[in-house]
Each structure stands twice: as structure tokens, then as C-alpha cells.
Amino acid sequence: MREAVSAVLVHDDKLFVVKRQPYLLAFPGFIAFPGGKVDAEDSEAGFDHPLLRDYPAYQIRALCRELFEELNFDLELALERGEVCSVSLLGTAVTPRFAAVRFSVPHYKIALKRKPAIRLDSEELVWADWVAGGELWQQFNNGEALMVVPTQCIVRTLAADISAQCVDPFNIVYDHERELPYLELIRGVGLIPVPSATLPPATSTNALRVGGGGFPVCLVDPSPRDDESYNKLIRTLEKYPIDRILITHHHRDHHQQAPDIARQLGIPMLCSAVTERRLEDSFGADYLQGVSVESIGEGDEITRWQGSVVRAHHLPGHDDGMIGLAPENNAWFMVSDLVQTQGSVVIPEPEGEMQAYLDSLQRVISLNPRVIIPAHGLPAGETWLLEQVYQHRMERERQIESLRKLGKGVDEMVASIYIGLDQKLLPLARQNVRQHLRKLGFYSE
């Protein structure tokens, strides 16, 4: 378990919040509080100040360092000048078990007598501002802010009582032995990380739950890899019931045991006509037996979210039948396997096609959604990830074209481009190379 620290700066009824850059590896585009990792060099020498004596000195020193680096705010100087009213530990955020890297993050509430002068570190932060707790909580409830659960808990508590000295609950509350976690990082968009038979480094597929308020509640891509995960998912759905299942495409880590869930719950399954055909071709004609399958296509209304119609979007390239989802106001876009925040996307054979994939990337970029929700990994703010993947694919294509001019074959290209790649993943790398060659008109097998 790694350690980090965070500061909840408070002045009157306002909280100081930041928005993280969309290109950061951790929580890109999320609304958060300033802070960062504890470094080995953070001193354990105690503070001779009554407001700090009860807390681990290395955490406070890490907090002082991070505040100065991110905001140019000198907490020690503010303490010396008597500008700090109180310091309290609101609680400690603990990264959920399903996360690849886990952190313990104490959040210290620092009540200030005046607003300090702030100079942002633009490398990490898009913007920062003092916002009333009630206003910030309303933004989240309106689906306008992307927040992790501990941030939500803090904002909700301080919106109700700015003088609160602790927050409870502080983390995701669920029975790990019996259930799967249910996250609403955007209000009304539930995310269940279901352990699935996916490719590393990912270990789960995001089953997205959206709808309600008189409109169908849809669960996207439930794909438990084993009986234990299946049973945990069913128990989770007892708390968060659904009316229908939507499968984005036919790859196994997006539908494994989904027909069983549909049969057990007596609900229909939605997918594109291409996906239905590929499911039957790949997994047998009886795979969907007893399931009411409804065909969906471009522009079809799936449900509603925050009063906005959620429509299906055809996103071919990774899979010719792949469907994504987005509300008409483009507050978010569920892109399935168009991109990942964990690992890279394969353009498989025969259902993938590189030009279609690049076109799908550009199409979503042009819609400019506020949040991208991939099938694997946490959501990301804005379209930076899509743009980066597009640029990466074009750079890869230039490499492949140059190597072909030198007379290199597919295996030689893979050896030159994918240095140090896990041997198990080499067949996937070869597929991507061949797909680029097909796009360039140099490969027709």
C-alpha cells in the first residue's frame, strides 16, 4: 500500500478544488483536492505547533511540499502567521481492491482565515477555484463533475456542514466477499468493475449501468469470468436492479455469461445485428437460446440520463459491430474498446479494420464529450486520450511504412517496433502491423 496526502482547504463556506489535467495517468480530468504522493525524503521531524502535534509529521511535511509545488502556497508560513484556524483529519481514502495500484490517502481539512495567493502548477492542474460546497455538490448531482467516491463524500458532508471535522463514510461501502463495488463517478452512471477474461494489464470490464426515472435501466457488457464473479454480480444487481443488458461487441470479455444473466433475470439483451451474428457464429447457435435479443443500430434511443436521450453510436474498427453510448448533450461517451486507460487496443482479424478504427476515433473526438468512459480502466476527462491514441497510431503507421521500404517483413517489423513486449502478446502485435499494412494497401492476405 503506497501513501499520499491531500489537503481540503476551506475558507468561510467555500472549498478549494482543482481539476486534474486530462493527460495524467491517475484520475485524468477529475475534480479533486490538492495533494500527492509521500516521498521517501519527507522528514519525520515533528512540528512545534499545537495544530499539528497530533498528526504524523512525515504526512504533514509531504502535504506542505505538495501544496507549495502545486499551488505555491506555504502552509508552514501560514501557520506561523496565524492564518490557519484549524487542522483536522477528515478521513483516509483507501484505493479499492480492484485497483492495479493501491494508495492510502489521509485528507486533512485546513480552515483558513483568509484566501491565500495561489499560483497553479499547470503541468498537473487545468484550473482551481474556491467553490461553495453546495454548488459543487449540485454540479456533481447534475452530472457535470467527475469525482472519486472519497471526494464525493467530503463534498457532500461539507456542503451540509462546513464545520464538520470528520467524514463518514469515506470510502466505497460494499461487502467484498459477496458483492462487486458499484461506483458513480458521474451521477447516474454506475460503473461495476466485473472481473473478466480480458487481456493484461486489465483484469476487469466496466459494466456500465445507466437509466432510471421511468426509463429502462440498462447494464452494458456484464462479463463475469467465473462463477464467483457471476454470483457477486447478481447480488450487486439485487441492490441496483436492471431492465435490460446491452452488449457492445462480440469479444468474450464483453459478454461472458451475459446470456445467463438475461435468462436468470428474465430481461432482454440488446446488441447490433452484426454482434448477434458473430456471437452465434463464434459461440454456437444455442448461445442466445431463450434470450430475447433486440437489434440496435446507429442513433437508436437506449434510455435517458439526466433528462438527455442516450443513443447508440456505431464505432467500427476494433470490431465491425461495436456500439458505444452517449447522451445527446455529450456529457460523457461510453466508447467500449475504442480506447483503454489500461494498455492498448488491438485491431483484430478479421473483424477489425484500421481505417474504420481511426475514423471512429475522429468521430468521437469531433463530438467533444466531457468524459470518456472506456471498457477497461477508469473514465478520463475530455478527449485527450482519444487524440493521443490517434496520434500514436499514425506514428506507428509511419514506422511501419518506413520499415516496409527497407524490405522488412511483419515479424521483423514487430521485433523492431515492439521491443521488450511480452511474448504472449506478439500475435496481437502482428495483427496490428498487418492491419496498418492493409490500410496502406501493402497486405491483402
Reported pTM? 0.94
Element (H, E) at 364: helix 354-367
In this predicted model, what pLDDT tens digit does every residue of 226-277 receive, in sequence order? Answer: 999 999 999 999 999 999 999 999 999 999 999 999 999 999 999 999 999 9
Query: Which residues partner with 4 through β-bridges?
Result: 37
Give pLDDT, residue 306.
Answer: 95
CA distance 267 to 259: 10
Which segments within 113-147 are labelled E, that is strand?
125-132
- Which are the contacts of 156, defined by CB distance < 8 A and separation ≥ 6? 137
Domains contained in the chain, CATH given: 2-160 (3.90.79.10), 183-382 (3.60.15.10), 395-440 (no CATH)
Residue 445: what pLDDT?
60
For residue 299, the tally of other CB atoms under 10 A from its CB is 10
In this prediction, residue 40 carries a pLDDT of 78
Structural contact between residues 304 and 323, judged by C-beta atoms closer than 8 angstroms: no
**Are 333 and 314 a contacting pair, CB within 8 Å?**
no
The whole-number mean pLDDT for each consecutive block of 10 residues of the chain, a chain of 445 residues, reads 93 96 92 91 75 88 92 93 95 85 92 92 89 97 95 97 95 94 97 93 94 96 98 98 98 98 98 97 95 97 97 98 98 97 87 97 98 95 96 96 93 92 89 95 71
Q: What does the pLDDT look like over 380-417, one tens digit per residue?
A: 999 999 999 999 999 999 999 999 999 999 999 999 99
Q: Measured between alpha carbons, how far is 445 from 439 in angstroms, rounded to an integer?
A: 12
> What residues contact residue 284 under an 8 Å CB cut-off, 6+ apart?
none
User: Which has the closest alpha carbon to 3: 94, 139, 126?
Assistant: 94
Q: What angle do CA 220, 224, 229 make, to 5 degrees?
A: 125
Distance CA 97, CA 101 (A): 9
Instruction: Give me the pLDDT at residue 442, please.
Output: 85
Dihedral Cα 137, 143, 146, 152, nearest 10 deg: 30
